[in-house]
Amino acid sequence: MLLISCVLTILLHYASGDSLCGNSTESSLKSCTTQILGDQGRTEHDLCQMEVFPTNSPECSSMKFGPPVSNAHIGGVTLKPHVITQAHDITKIAINRTVLNITFSNIKWTTMRFRFQDKFREARNHCRNILISKDVTVDDRSVLYYDCYWPISNLHEDQSYILDFEANNTWGVYRGQYYFNVPSAEMLSHSVSEKEWKPFVYIEIFPTKMRLHIMPPPEHLKITGYHVKVMKKDCDKNGPCELKSKWVELNNKTDEVSYDYSYVGSNGKFYFTVTPQHKKCVNGVGCKTVESPKIVISFIEVQSLNICIASITALIVAALFAYYIVLRVFRRYCCKDYRLAHSNEIPTPPKVLVIYSPTNRLHAECVASFVSYLHYEYGIDIMYDGDISNTSHGDPYIWAEEAFRIASHIMYIVGPAEETNLYNNIYDKPIISPHRNVDVLLLSFVKANRVAKCPKDVLNVFFEYSNGQIPVETRHDKLFFLIKDWHKLIAYLSKNLLPKRQIMRTERGRSFLEDLTRAKKLLNVNADEVMVKCEKNAFDRKILL
């Protein structure tokens, strides 16, 4: 696993040039590993790949994204335009162009598929698909910049576009949709004045609301806030009407300002207007107003959504009740643990695989003693790397693979801190075993098992001297501190079996129960014979007494 501890910053245009941003006539895969890890991250396999689609391609137009859903678990996705200066192909005169930047922050996805598309001309599009290997753990401070999309905005300032994106991670699929107008280069230049400036805004669509995002103003402008209005087009014969209005203060000039509007129960075309506030803007005079793209909201869709939510809620309640009834019946007639409590069948002991770091000799000896005690005193089928020498093949990898496959529980025993592994004399040398790194191999199996259909039960055990680090693979699992949590640990491994079932797991326990049963039977028989004789004759009763 590769851990990126520094901030992940990827400039997919400026850092990589035409290698990632250049147009192609057919779909292709390009490596973006260097942009993630730099030159030191070169490996045999690409840890990052970008699927590039031809610009304005039918394949991009027909790409399906589905309706927007909550995307709070994938990190941030923001839009920000900026200006670049480029020489004209023919006249060689320097001209300013608007470049649209999409920023992914706090990345928590492994694949990101997105498309820029003209709102009214679907044939004009731009698609990419970024794939990050699961072997890379991205830092929470990661930021990915993509600025390979250069929309043509100089001919028509209010040209409307849609950004659709779909992200995947281990928890699910998340989708989002943004509407925006591409601003002209003049609105982004450092020479624009407060009376001329209009902010860049974009609308984020949610299942029940719209969120307006307002880009912060240039540093040289003294903007104090915004007057935001929610408008509806063709409200009546008089034209558009105002639905809601709010004055939004600008606290700082580095962060976006957002405003939410719920559209549940509405229909028609809706849009926002934003008017920057400054000293020269008084009572609507000397002010510039920018309009967002118009969003069509259908009452049928909203009504269907409400009906769908109500129906799903009723189905969930009914399903939970049915599940409760089925679970009771299943537990009564089919569940093995339930039947064991009412039968004489000896329960199968759990198969526990122990993982630990053998670098400290004293810790390794304590683990071996602990394993032996659990096996012989509690009848637990326990496995650890000391069993490798007893196999016919003696191969650590074969043993580890087989032990992990049959194990029902994975127990990691935390050892002492690394600094305690420094030894002061030759008699305390660390264990140099041919089975080194078996713990690393088993922990890799634990990580891979997280996405399995039936993941194994994982727990961490602390001894009284354990002050080392818990590995990342088991950090979020159960904790047991011995000796304090000894009874809890045994109950967890035994699934809270009755004492008699627990005792029957060991040979000594079965022998003990057999002796108790035989003694109980013989003593009860003798007592019955005494009572019979006593009833026959009072004299005999006195003699017996």
For residues 175 and 164, give the distance between their C-alpha atoms in angstroms, rounded to a whole number: 8
Candidates 127, 103, 132; CA nearest to 113 is 127
pLDDT of 43 above 80: no
Give the per-residue pLDDT at 274. Answer: 94
Radius of gyration over alpha carbons of the chain, in Å?
A: 35
Contacting residues for 210 by C-beta, under 8 A, at least 6 apart: 203, 204, 260, 261, 263, 270, 295
Q: Which is higher by pLDDT, 437 or 338?
A: 437
Give the per-residue pLDDT at 328. Answer: 74
Q: What are phi and psi of 492, to 5 degrees?
A: -65, -45
Q: Which is higher by pLDDT, 344 or 104?
A: 104
For residue range 400-410, list pLDDT tens digits in order: 899 999 998 99
For residues 458 and 460, give the distance between their C-alpha atoms in angstroms, rounded to a whole number: 7
For residues 165 and 76, give the distance between their C-alpha atoms in angstroms, rounded to a whole number: 12
pLDDT of 212 above 90: yes
Give the per-residue pLDDT at 23. Answer: 64
For residue range 94-125, list pLDDT tens digits in order: 677 788 888 888 888 889 999 998 888 878 88
Give the per-residue pLDDT at 16. Answer: 41
Q: Which is higher by pLDDT, 95 or 51?
A: 51
Q: Which is higher by pLDDT, 90 or 458?
A: 458
What amino acid is encoded at 345 in this protein?
E
pLDDT of 420 above 80: no
Q: Which of 87-101, 144-158, 357-371 has the lowest mean pLDDT?
A: 144-158
Give the per-residue pLDDT at 172. Answer: 85
Question: What is the number of helices (H) and of strands (E) in the chain?
Answer: 12, 25
For residue range 457-502, list pLDDT tens digits in order: 899 999 988 888 889 888 888 999 988 888 888 888 877 565 666 6
Look up the pTM and report it.
Answer: 0.53
Q: What percent of the chain has pLDDT over 70?
A: 74
Mean pLDDT of 119-132: 86
For residues 108 and 77, give the distance between their C-alpha atoms in angstroms, rounded to a whole number: 11
Under DSSP, is residue 159 helix (H, G, I), strand (E, B) or coil?
coil
pLDDT of 380 above 80: yes
For residue range 504-523, list pLDDT tens digits in order: 666 666 676 676 777 777 77
CATH of domain 351-503: 3.40.50.11530
pLDDT of 12 above 50: no
Give the position of tokens 């189905």.
315
pLDDT of 538 above 60: no
Q: Which is higher by pLDDT, 247 or 47?
A: 247
The structure tokens listed for 526 are: 């003798």
Cα separation values, 274 from 79, 226, 289, 290, 360, Å: 17, 6, 6, 5, 66
Give the per-residue pLDDT at 227. Answer: 93
pLDDT of 5 above 60: no
What are all long-range contacts of 117-120, with beta carbons under 8 Å and residues at least 24 apart?
A: 117/60, 117/61, 117/161, 117/162, 117/163, 117/164, 118/159, 118/160, 118/161, 118/162, 119/160, 119/161, 119/162, 119/179, 119/293, 120/160
Candidates 247, 257, 205; CA nearest to 226 is 247
| Paired sense of beta strands 209-214 and 257-262, if any | antiparallel
Give the per-residue pLDDT at 543. Answer: 41
CATH of 190-297, one of 3.40.50.261, 3.30.70.120, 2.60.40.10, 3.30.43.10: 2.60.40.10
The chain-wide mean pLDDT, for the chain, equals 78
Contact 102, 13 (CB under 8 A): no
